[in-house]
Each structure stands twice: as C-alpha cells, then as structure tokens.
Structure 1
C-alpha cells in the first residue's frame, strides 16, 4: 500500500487513540508517523503504545515512524492564596522567587534563572498570553511589573518570556529520564522542546548520538534569531505554532511559517507544521473552512508533514480528523496551482555533484513520465536531496536500515522500503525493478529512474542515475 499524496501526516497518540484498534484505524486513514507526547502519560503507557505500533508495522508490512516529544522546561507560577488572583490593567504586582500561598504582592515564581535574566521593559506573559505584564523593577529575588492586559492568575499557570534568553537547559531531569526510556524503546525521532540556541541541540545530540533523529521545535523568538545554525544542527524541524504564537505577534506567525518551511527545504531537512490545524475537530466531526485552508497553506508552502495534536490524542473524532487531513492534502496537491506554487519556492540547486544528480533525476523522471524515482539510500540523504526538488512523481526509497526507513516516514514524497543491501550494479537495477513492480509503482514496460551512490553502502555519495525499463 502507498499513499496517494506526497506530504505526510503526524498524529499524536493519547487517550482517544492509544488502543491497538484505533492505532490501526488511524494508520489506515493516513497516519505516517505517530507522536508520543511525554508531557502526558507514564512510561508504561508509552511502552504499550510503542509495542502496539511495532506490532501494527509487522501486520501491515510498512515502516511506521514514532516521534518522542519531550516536555522541556515548563515555567509556571506557584500556588496562589485561594487559588486565583484577579488583576486589572494599570496596577502593579510583584513576583517573588521564594514562597507559597501568594497574593498580588508576592506571586510565587520559583525559577531563579528568570530573576537572573530579565530586565526592565521585558514582557512576561501568563496563561498562554492571556495576561501580559511589563517588568518595571527587579531585585535578586523579586520582580515588580505593571499589568498591561488584566485577567485571572491561578495556580500553576504557564509563563512565557518572549524578550528574555534564559540560561536554561532544554533537557530537564524528567526529560533526561524520558529520553533514556524512549531510546531504550527504539523511537525514531526525538523532538526537543523550547530550543533557544544552537548549543541546546549540541547538548541533546551528545545524549542521542545516532540512535534517533533529532528534531528541533521552533517555539521561541530566540530560536528564530539563530535559525540557520539550529536547522544545520537538527535532523528535522517542527514549526510549533502554539508557544511561538504566544511569544511573537499573531500576525507574524504565517510569515515565519513560510520562512521556516523554505529554509528547511533549502537545507534538505524535513519540516513539520503543527498546532491547532484542525482544532475544532476535537469536538466536531468537521473542521472550519479556515482550518481546512490552514492545512492547505502548509501544503502549498511545501511542508514535509502536517500534525494533529489534541484532535487525535483527546478528541471525539480522531479517525475523522486524519481522514479529513488526508483529503485536504490530496485535494491541494492535485489543484491546478499547486505545481506552480511549489516550483516558485524551489531553492537553487547547490553546486555539488550529489545535489546536481538528485535534481537531475527529478527533472529526468518528469521528462520521461516515469511513474517513480527509485532512490537507494543508506542514511536517507539521497532520498531527501531528491525530495528537495519536489518532483511530480513519488520517491521509492530503498534502504537496508529499518531505522532509516522509519525516519523517512516524515519526508515529503518518500515511500520507504527496507530492502536487502546490493553489492553490484546489476543487482541494483534488477532489485529496483522488482520492488517498483511489487510495491505498485509502475507497470511492465514503464521506465523508472534509479538513483544511487557508488560505492554502495556509503552514506551521502549520490552520484549515479540509471533509466531502466520494467520487465514483463
């Protein structure tokens, strides 16, 4: 089986979708990669889901990606007397580093790194930006602020500091324990939350090594300031519009999304667009027209994947949400303007043999009406270079590594297959022909384009194109 679309679907697993039966229904509806959100659930819960996905993978005979999403450092206010304080615009309130049972003159904020980093004039946002205060004064363990947008401050509400670079590791002790557990299970991707600077990725890479792909979630303004280096160090990127939309103006989010998708395509790194894509489907069987347009915009931008969060994790219609996303993607990719919009955003081919060969293969396949491009890929790089071109035909990615086949479930246009390694040129061609026919990517007498690196088995050596005719 293969999808009738190029962009991929990521779905978050939760109480609404963690049974083996629902996981299978979601896969059949269109899910390519499942996200395990380690902000919720126990290790035992995630282990059961992981085992169910791997059993499903065996049943359907297709690689399925698993993305572990780490919680990251959550900044929250402490406990408030009577559970809540109502504050009005214009009044002055005070935050303190130590203490409990706070009031408006001593709201607990138990994060010393904040007191070390903030400056007068910085904004502090509470409860997903519903309340905004501006810092007017501070000491070693207190912060005074003027309320700009009033409302209710209640226990343990989240805090965002869009103007402040915190000296804070993106990996909390909980994250380190979760990461070790996820790697022991064999997750394919690890998503790092609240990345602020390139060094955050270096720290995570030291723990992960090559056991999983490293995905950077872009949700902080400071990450945007270092985005080129962050993309270079990551294996993939997520445009996490939830927290990002709290910390930067709402009107800036669409443009930033387009910039990030384009930068990732240029860097040959998969990019996911996420958060509230079909949010009304948490409680309704259909999305709003604006939500359908939001998904379509990400596809027109050239995103590798789009993601469902609460829609599939906790909503009343998880399967319907996946089916809707699948239909929107397919409709968008078949629209008469799709190819022209994708082509306009196409980056220039890098002046290196591997990139030139991959781009030439895509152009050649279009020219001869090939039904597919077969890419032999040891690390996934050859398939990613071809996907950068966004060819009109699917990419049949053959790899001897099951871990690579699973990671390619995030890559635009890639249908990954774990295949036996090849050692000779003749084996390469016959193997490509056999799998293309077996996977339904061509008919006898069709011409396909085969791309590989020679010598075989060496990562990154994309240097060979072959046109072959399918036998029969």
Structure 2
C-alpha cells in the first residue's frame, strides 16, 4: 500500500479515534504513525489501541509506527476554592507551596523548583498564557505577584515560566512508569516533553537504550539555546508549537520552526511539526484557509511529518482531518514551485563518504530518471541520508529489522519493507528489483538505483551505488 506523497502524517488517538474500526479508517485516509498521548487516558486504554494498531498492521501488510508521548513535568496550579478564581489586572496575588483549596492569597503551586528559580520581575503565565502575573517578591514557601493580564483560572491549569531554567528531570515518576509500560508494549518512538538541556535526553537514553527512538519535543526556550546538542543526542525532534508559542513571542514561532526543520535535516534526524495545524476541524468539517497554509508551509519547509492532535483525538471529524492533511501535502508536493523551494533549502553537504554516497545516489537516480531509490538499511541510517537530499524519486527502504521498518514510517519520502537480509551483490540486485516491482514502484525494463553498505550487515556504512534495470 503506497502513499503517493513524501511527507508523513502523525495522528493522535483519543476517544474519537480509539476503536479498531476508526483506526482502520484513519490509516486508510493517510495516517503513517499513531500517537498515544499519555497525558490522557489509562495504560489499559493505550494497550488496547496498541493491540488494535498492531492487528491493523498485520492485516494491511504495512509497517505502522506508534509514538508514545510522555506527559513530562507539567507545572500546574492546585485546587481552587469553588474550582475557579477571577484575577483582575493590578491586584496582588500570592502563590504558596503548601496549602489546600486556594484563594487569591494562597493559590497552591506545589512545585518547589519554581520557588527556588524565580526572581522578582519575572513573569508567570497561566492557562497557555491567557493570564500573566509578574513576580514581586519571593519568600520561604510563597511568591507574591501582581496580575498583569487578568481573567479566570480554574483547577489544575498549566503554568509556564518563560526564560527560567528549572531543575526538573524530564521524567516524572508517572513518566517512568508509563515508559516502562510502553517499552514493554513495544512502542517505536518515545516523545520527551519539556526537554530543556542535552542531559535530559541522556537521562532518557539510559532508560530507553535502543528499544525505541527518542523524539525530543522542543517547547522550552532553554532547549533552543542548546538545540544542536539536543538534536545530536535525539533520534527525532518535534516542533511542539503549543507550549513553545506560550514561552516565546508568537511572532518568533514561524522562524524558529524553519530553523529547527533545517537543523534536523542537516543532522539527518526526522522532524515533526505539531499543534493546532487544523485546529478548527475539531468542530468543523473543513479547515480555515490559514490552517491549510500552515500545513503547506511545514511541507514547503521540508518537514518529515505533520501532526494532528485534538483534531483526531477528540474532534468530530477525525477522518476528514486526516484526509484534508493528505490532500494538502499532495497538492504542495505537486506544485510547480515545490521542488525549487526544497532545493533552495538544501543544507550544506557534510564531507563524509556515507553522506557523499547518499547524495550521489539521489542525484544519479534523478539523472537516469529512475523509478525508485532502493536503500538497504539495518538501522535506517542509509534511508535517512538519502531522504536528507529530498529527492524527487521515491525511496524504497529494505530492512531485515521489523523495528526499523516501523520507525521509518516517520521518515520523509520513505516506503519501508521488512525483508530478509542479503549476503551477496547478486542477491542485492535481484532483491531490489523484485521489491521495486512487487511494491508498485517499477515495471520491467525500468531503472532503479540501489544504495547499500559493503560488506553487508554493517550498520551505517553507506558506500556503494548500483544502477539496476528491472
């Protein structure tokens, strides 16, 4: 089952999409990877979805990726008297470390790391930035602040501290329990929320190892300060524009998105653009023109994948949202300016033989008008190096690893197939031609170009190109 587009679609599963029947419809509409959001639902809920996706995968005969998104150390106010407070601009409020149901002089904020980090003059943003208060004084177990932008707050609303590095592990006790559960299930990707520094990724790697790919969610300004190291240590990156757009000015988000996509492409790491891409489709069967343009911009920028959140998790039109995203991607990739825009954003080549061979493979395939590039890959690295070039020719990734084939469902332009490993040059040629034909990429007498590492079974050693006539 081929997707006639290069960029991939990630869809979040929730009450609107958790049934096996709906998961099948979403897959047929275009979903390549399903996201399990562990901020919501129970472990049992996610286990049922995981089993349904794996059953769907077996029926479809195509690898499907599963992304476990951990909740992370989300900072929230506690329980409020009557469940709500109305803050008025100019008034003074007080946050306390200890307390029961809070009023304006004792709003519970049970996060000691905040009390250790904030200083007078800094702002606290509540409820995705709708409410802004400015710290006036910090004492033992209490913060006094002036309300700058007022409005209602209710129980458990989130709190952001722009520009403040908090001494927080990216993995709470809940996250560690959820992570162990997800790895036992066999998820393909683990998304880390609120990554601030490279050591956060290192900490997660110590727990995950190579059992799943690590996707760092960029939603803190502190992460942007160490972004090159974070990307290098991660297996993929998510541009999580929700919290990022709260902590940095809205007008800076589009530029940061472009920077992140370019940096990930240079580093040969898949990058996902997420949050509110088709948000109006939570309650409407069609997107706004601005939302369609937002998805299109991510595709023109060269993102590997775009993601649906509430649109597919709780919305009224999950299938329509996926279908809309699929149509937008295909329209952009078929536009007459797409190839020139993608070529203009081509990162500088790294001066290493594997990168040079992958680049030459893409150029050669386009030059001989090959029907496909066949990338033999154990870890996925060869396919990723070819995809970095963003060739016009589709990439058929052949791998003996079931786990790699599933992770590649996130990689730009790549159609992955799990197959037996090859031991000789002749077997490589025959296998490439057969799969290109069987998967619908090529017909007899068509040309394909194969990239591989010689000797075989060597991870990351892309050093050989072969032009093959089917």
In structure 2, distance between residues paired with 1:444 and 1:205? 45
User: Are positions 1:188 and 2:188 aligned together?
Assistant: yes
- Deviation digits for residues 393-445 of structure 1, max 9, x if unmatched? 11000000000000000000000000100001110010000000000111111
1:316 counterpart residue number: 316
What is the aligned partner in structure 2 of residue 385 from structure 1?
Answer: 385
Aligned-pair CA distance for 1:374: 0.2
Deviation of 1:121 after TM superposition, in Å, equals: 1.5
What corresponds to 1:161 in structure 2? 161
Q: Which residue of the partner structure matches residue 113 of structure 2? A: 113
SS at match of 2:349: coil
Deviations 1:62-104 (A, max 9, x none): 0000000000112111122222222221222111111112221
> Shift in Å at residue 140 of structure 1?
2.1
Give the drift of 1:44: 1.1
What is the distance in 1 between the residues matched to 2:154 and 2:318?
31
Contact 1:130 1:151 in 2 (8 A): yes
**What is aligned with 2:359?**
359
Q: Distance in 2 between matches of 1:36 and 1:341?
A: 33
Residue 208 of structure 1 deviates from its aligned partner by 0.3
Could you tell me which residue of structure 2 aligns to residue 269 of structure 1?
A: 269
Matched, 1:7 2:7: yes
C-alpha offsets along residues 10-69 of structure 1, whole Å, 9 cap, x if unaligned?
000111111111111111110000000111111111111111111111101000000000
Preserved CA contact (<8 Å) 1:116 1:140 = no
Q: Which region of structure 1 is more displaced relative to structure 2, 355-364 or 87-96?
A: 87-96
What's the secondary structure of 1:321's corresponding residue? helix
Please list the CA deviations of residues 293-327 of structure 1 after superposition, one character each: whole Å capped at 9, or x if unmatched.
Answer: 00000000000000001111111111111100000
* Structure 1: tracts of 5 or more residues without a match: none
Equivalenced residues, count: 470
Structure 2 CA distance for aligned equivalents of residues 195 and 139 of structure 1: 28
Aligned to 1:246: 246
The answer for the alignment partner of 2:335 in structure 1 is: 335
The Cα shift of 1:344 comes to: 0.6
Pairing 1:425-436 to 2, within 5 Å after superposition: 425-436=425-436
**Contact persistence 1:136–1:145 (CA under 8 A):** yes
* 1:163 Cα deviation from its structure 2 partner: 2.0
Note the C-alpha offset of 1:134.
1.1
Deviation readout 1:183-215 (Å, 9 max, x if unpaired):
000000000001011110001000000000000
Moved over 3 A (4+): none
User: Is contact 1:123–1:163 with CA below 8 Å preserved after alignment?
Assistant: no
Aligned partners of 2:466, 2:101: CA distance in 1, in Å? 71
Q: Which residue does the alignment assign to 1:132?
A: 132
Q: Is the 8 A contact 1:265 1:347 kept in 2?
A: yes
Q: Which residue of 1 aligns with 2:82?
A: 82
Give the match for residue 296 of structure 2.
Answer: 296
Q: Do the aligned partners of 1:221 and 1:247 also contact (CA within 8 Å) in 2?
A: yes
Is 1:448 paired with 2:448?
yes
Partner of 2:94: 94
Give, in whole Å, the separation in 2 of the partners of 1:45 and 1:93. Answer: 39
User: Is there any run of 5+ residues in structure 2 with no aligned partner, and where?
Assistant: none
Q: Say whether 1:53 aligns with 2:41.
A: no
Distance 2:426 2:101 in 1: 75
Listed one character per residue, the Cα deviations across residues 261-319 of structure 1 (whole Å, up to 9, x for unaligned) are 00000000000000010111111110001000000000000000000011111111111
Corresponding residue of 1:212 = 212
- 1:466 matched to which residue of 2? 466
- Cα RMSD for the two superposed structures: 0.7
Deviations along 1:166-188, whole A, 9 cap, x unmatched? 10111011100000000000000
For 1:16 and 1:37, the matched residues in 2 are separated by 13
Could you tell which deviates more after superposition, 376-385 or 105-114? 105-114
After TM superposition, the score normalised by the length of structure 1 is 0.99
Q: Residues 136-168 of structure 1: CA distance to partner in whole angstroms, max 9, x if unpaired?
A: 110121111111111122221111111211101
